[in-house]
Structures are given as C-alpha cells and as structure tokens.
Amino acid sequence: MMRSRLVTAGFLSGAIAAFGLSTPLTAKEGMYTPDQLQEIAAQLRESGLELEPETLADLTSFPMGAVVSLGGCSASFVSPEGLVVTNHHCARGSVQFNSTAENNYLANGFLAATKGDELPAAPGSRVYITTDVTDVTAQMREGTEGMEPLARYELVQQRRKDIIAGCEETLGYRCQVSGFFGGAQYKLIKRLEVRDVRLVYAPADSIGKYGGDIDNWQWPRHTGDFAFYRAYVAPDGSAADFDEANVPYEPEHHLKVSAKGVADGDFVMVAGYPGSTNRYTLLAEVENTFEWNYPTFQKLIEEWIATIEDAAPEGSDARVKYESLLAGLNNFEKNLRGQMEGAQRVGLVDRRRAREAALAEWIAADASRAEYATAIAALAELSEESASASRTNFWYGNAARASLFGVARRLYRLSKERQKPNAERESGYQERDMTFFRQSMQAIDRRYDAGVDKATWTLFLKGYLAQPVEERVGVLDKAMGFTADTTADDLPELLGAFYAGTTLGDLDTRLALMDASPEALEASEDPFIELAVAMYDYGFDLETQSKTRAGRSLALRPAYMEAITDWQKEQGVLAYPDANSTLRVTFGNVLGGSPQDGLIYAPFTSLEGITAKDTGKDPFNAPAKQLELIEDKNYGSYKLDAINSVPVNYLSDLDVTGGNSGSATLNARGELVGLVFDGTYESINSDWDFDPRTTRSIHVDSRYMLWVMDKVDGAQALIEEMDIVTE
C-alpha cells in the first residue's frame, strides 16, 4: 500500500516497482492493441505462446480474424458456417425477445434443431467483423495546435465524421475512428456489419445464469455462461437485413474448440473488445470519483432499486418490464461497492498521488521535459474543473431521468439536427444512426410502465429539491413549477399532470414524431415535449461547456500520455492505452489466488460444486437431468484429473473489463479453451488500478460447455459442426 505522503528524492524506483512498472507481474497487466504485440514478442514467447506473436498483429489472419464484436460484448467464430460463441448473458436479451408464456426459452433453454429453426436475434443485434485498421492520426490532428478549445473539438469531431462517411461509402460496413493515448493517436476501424443475426442455442437460465445476482462477482462460481448465434448475409456475401434467402456467413478464420482445456498454470490469452478503463486519470478525477461521485450514486441506486421493487411487485407485468433494469442496477450497485472497497484496500488515492509525484520528479530531472510539466499542470487544473462540473450537474442529471422526458429531448434534438446537412449533424443523429434511433423508440414499450416511471422520477426529484435553491437550475424550476416552498409532498400532483397529458407512451406517436419539425414540436401541448423545449438551451449550454473542456483536453492529454509512455519506456515497460471498445489482447496464466489473509481461491470449480449449491430454487436450481448426471459421475471425456471432475469455471490473472464479456480465452496454440464472463469481487477496482496479487478473471471452461452440450442439452449437431481438438 502507498502511504499518504509526497514522493521524495530516491523514491522513484520504489514507486515504479509498487505500481507494477518493472516487476515480472507486469506480464499479466496490459490491454494491448494487436499492433503492440510485436514489441512484447519476447514476453509472449517466454510466457508460453506457441504462435508467432507477429501473426497476432494481423487482424485478418488467424486467430484475430475469428474474433468479433457484438457492440457491447465480444464473441468469436467457431465454425466455417458463421457459428458465433459468446456469453449467455450477452445473448439473453435475444432469448427473452423470443420467449413467450408457451415457449419460455429463458426457463427451458433454446436449441435450434436445424438452421431453419434458428430465431432472429433481438432487434439491433449485430456482429461486427473488423476487416481493416488504418492510422489516421495526421488527418485528425493536423493544424489543431493553437486553436480555441471549442473550435478544436468541433474540427476533430467533424474530421471524424468525414472520415467515417468516406469509409462507409462501401455499403454494408460500419466504421469508427477511435482515439488512443488521450488523442495522441487515431485509428480508422472498418467493420463488416452483419445485421441478420440468429439465435442458435442457449442453455436454460438454470445453467447459463446459475447463481444469478447472488454469485455475481463471486468465487467459487458455477455458471455455464455461454450461448451461440449465427451470422447470416445475402447470397452474394454482402451484409443484409433478415431474409429467408440469406445464407450463413463464411468467415476466413474460425477457432478450434479444445476438449482438453487447460491446467493450473497454463498460458492463456484473451482477445476481445474491452469497454473502458481509467488507469491514467489524474488525482482530481480519482478523488472526485471515489470520495463523492461513487458514494453518492451508490446510495441513490439502492433507493432506485427499492422504488422499482415497490412500484412493480413480483409477478406483475410491470416487474417483467423492469427485470432487465433491476438486474443491471443490482450489478452496478455491487460494482460500485466493490470499486470503493477496492480503492480503500489498495489506497488508490494515495497511490495516484504518489504516481503523479514520481512522474513529476522524473520530469524535473531533465530540463528537456519541461513542456510535460506545463501540460500536466494545465491538465490537472482542467481535471479539477471537470470534477466540479460533475458534482454541480449530478442532481440536475438525475432530475432529468424520466423515460419520456428523455424521449422528448431526443426527438426535439433530432428535429434540430435535421435542419443541418447530414455530414454536420451530431453523432447519433445522422442518417447512419436512424435505424438504431428507431429501434430505441420501439424498445421503450418493453421497458416502460407509467406508474414505475413516475415513482422513480419522484425519487430523483426529491434529491434535486433537497439541494439549496441557489444550486438548483432556474429554468427547470420554472418549467416544472417549482418554487422555494415546493416539497416532495407536492410532487405527486405536479408529476401526475405530465403522465396524464402525454401521448409519448404510444409507439406510433413516437415514430411519427421522428419526422416532426422543430416548429411542430414547439407548438406541442404534450407536457414532456414542452419540458424538453424549455430545457433545450440549458442542455445545449452544458454540452458546449463539456465540449470546450474536451477541446482543452485534446491539447493537453497527449503530452501527459507521452510523458507516461517515455517514463515507463525507461523502465523497459511498454505503455498500453486505456480500453476504448477496440480489439485488445491480454495474456497470463490459469491461476488461483489469496485476495486476503486466510482466503484461498482454487483455480477450478467442479460439477460437484453445482450440486453442493443447489437448493431447487432460483438462482440455484440446476436441471434435474444435470444433477442426475453429476450424481452418476457421468463425466464423459471432459474430466480434469487434477480435480477428478469436469471443470466448470476457472480463474486467470488476465487483465479484462466490461465489454470483454464473451471474449475467447485461447491457449498457447490459439484454440478456444473458454470464455471470459466475470471477475472476482476483489478485481472490480482494476479499471482504475491493476493489482496483480488480487485481480482475477473468471472463465467458463470449454470442457463444461461441451459437457452441457453433449450430456445435458443434446447439441451434438453443433459439436459436429465445430472443430473439436482432443489432444
């Protein structure tokens, strides 16, 4: 643990070791971009990789060519016929979408007997296949030096949109321009957008979600978190919407699936699309997050969950609509608690303070580095401003959370953006975004209930009204009819008028308003639309302030990241960029651990652990057939001798985060030996600070996947379709 003190002369080398910058443990830390792997080729070979590290840099070759994104989760091809494997929780929305009272696939599982029986995935489901990555740093950054912050931000965003538009002239592709190292580098990522995605197989929740929220972020774990999609394209191989005439996509590469699996200590690596990390944030951002934002939000989420549960009783239609949100809120609340406990355990604030002092000492040791110090000082000031803005806007942001208010704001913003040429519209409002926009309008019916929404909006507004009047937003108070004397007791009547007078709960109305002009919406008497119109200028001003801060960051953060990179390079360590939903590779070993004194995590769990946990009640209600197979020790060829059973889940010391869900876990030969689906409770804080001693990721074992498919669900046809490696 870092003690709360400034770094003094002679402390630099100790600080570097404490932050994991020069110890052997750094082989486990790092979400590397594929092109970086050539620079750590020696480490990869020494760790056990049998493939040539250089081949991992080629996204169109094996095995990277088999790895895909689902736009929030990761996945990979495992057959030449477009079969895609991912986590059960990543595909569960599609299972739920296709379920009915008569065919409850969540409870019973789903297995298509033939390709013709495969079901369309939930609306908006995609398989993104990366086909090309181009460095566009020069195009993005040229001539931005010396510009005013807002102008710089807008120029960079316009260049991003223009580059994407050029890329998407090739029909069927979805492109993105992603920034790395704080905007020091930009890459254009071209991806085939497979729009016809079909559900092939998902075990029942009693396997795929075994343990539920109780076991979430916990070890030992016994969850069969896997499912299969299939990607379909037009007969000519181009991306197409769902059509009976479409054919399975034929990937250039697919992964072989190992029935032998891994043993304790074996080399493993994960290739996937991690969402975001905050490893390089400055002290002010860390302090604001862990000393104010997280504690405040965690308490609010607890109240949010209780409010929904009270307003939508078990078994009600409203509860069905809010089950997904409740699951997400419970997960987020547990995550926040883990983040805060982890930050306290490792002394995160003190560690970040010490790191910045150590970096400052390194900069001061060489006069040629003076520009780094100037940029970092300005960035620290900006971080303070951003943290202050975050606190100021917190209660207003929550006060604006009503579902239909959000719908109204988006519709009014769309009407405004459509007054501009398409190329100049804000991202999210261009023609390329309209399919997703329309689907979001349609999805509201499946997750909205007026009574529940009113109850939660009441909760948020109570928090807002509790703030001093001088800290509230005058234009919101005027639009809502709030005065200095308004109390929570006045809210039921005030909010009742909104829900009684709106028509935005109707799908056809929402879709029709996508084509409305600003004038038409400004003339509307719908109370939510009136509120959206009234708040537009204030919201636009907040957005402009945020963009201006972002423009300042674009000028400062690259210098900070260059300093970090050079500092680490002197220690023989390759700096990796924070995760940003682009393809990354991390590597390490199958490894248990001891996160605290007296607590031992074995590297594997077994089938017998399922039986030991089983109560017959959700979420510990394994299928009777599965329990019988376990009782009979019917392991087939999937047994791991070291545990005398079939391994269910295992631990590794890999560096992963949200978005990695469904990522292929590969052995030294690039064969699939499992899927990442979670991390231990002690690992939650690794988004901010990687601790090699306690950080562990949780994987579903390929042997358990095959055992369930073979013995429990009779998915032999899929096993035969895949290339199964037994040696």
Give the residue numbers annotated as catalytic, written as ranges: 89, 225, 661
The amino acid occupying position 206 is: S
- Please enumerate in sequence order all residues whose Cβ is within 8 A of that of 642, keeping only pairs 6 or more positions apart, or say none: 263, 264, 604
CB neighbours of residue 623 within 10 Å: 18
CB neighbours of residue 676 within 10 Å: 27
- HSE-up of 597 (CA within 13 Å, CB side)? 1
The DSSP bridge pattern shows strands 247-248 and 227-233 to be: antiparallel
Residue 415 pairs in a beta bridge with: none
CA 685 to chain centre: 15
Q: Closest by alpha carbon to 170, among 196, 197, 188?
A: 188
CB neighbours of residue 492 within 10 Å: 11
CB-count exposure of residue 100 (10 Å: 0-12, 13-18, 19+): exposed
d(CA 528, CA 411): 11
The DSSP bridge pattern shows strands 257-258 and 724-725 to be: parallel
Main-chain phi, psi angles of 62, to 5 degrees: -80, 140
* Contact status, residue 603 vs residue 651, Cβ threshold 8 Å: yes
CB neighbours of residue 494 within 10 Å: 14
The amino acid occupying position 673 is: V
Q: Closest by alpha carbon to 405, among 319, 342, 476?
A: 476
* Contact status, residue 676 vs residue 587, Cβ threshold 8 Å: no
The amino acid occupying position 20 is: G
Q: Token pair of 76, please?
A: 């990979």
The DSSP bridge pattern shows strands 83-86 and 173-180 to be: unpaired
Q: Closest by alpha carbon to 408, among 543, 534, 541?
A: 534
* Contact status, residue 260 vs residue 361, Cβ threshold 8 Å: no
What is the phi-psi region of residue 619: left when phi exceeds 0, alpha when psi lies from -120 to 50, beta otherwise? alpha
Alpha-carbon distances, residue 572 vs 43, 157, 405, 568, 584 (angstroms): 12, 35, 52, 7, 21
Q: Closest by alpha carbon to 129, among 164, 174, 167, 94?
A: 174
- Please enumerate in sequence order all residues whose Cβ is within 8 A of that of 30, keeping only pairs 6 or more positions apart, or say none: 574, 576, 586, 655
Element (H, E) at 386: helix 370-399
Q: Token pair of 558, please?
A: 């690259």
DSSP state of 217: T
Q: Which residue has the tokens 């469904």?
A: 662
* Contact status, residue 62 vs residue 670, Cβ threshold 8 Å: yes
d(CA 276, CA 656): 10
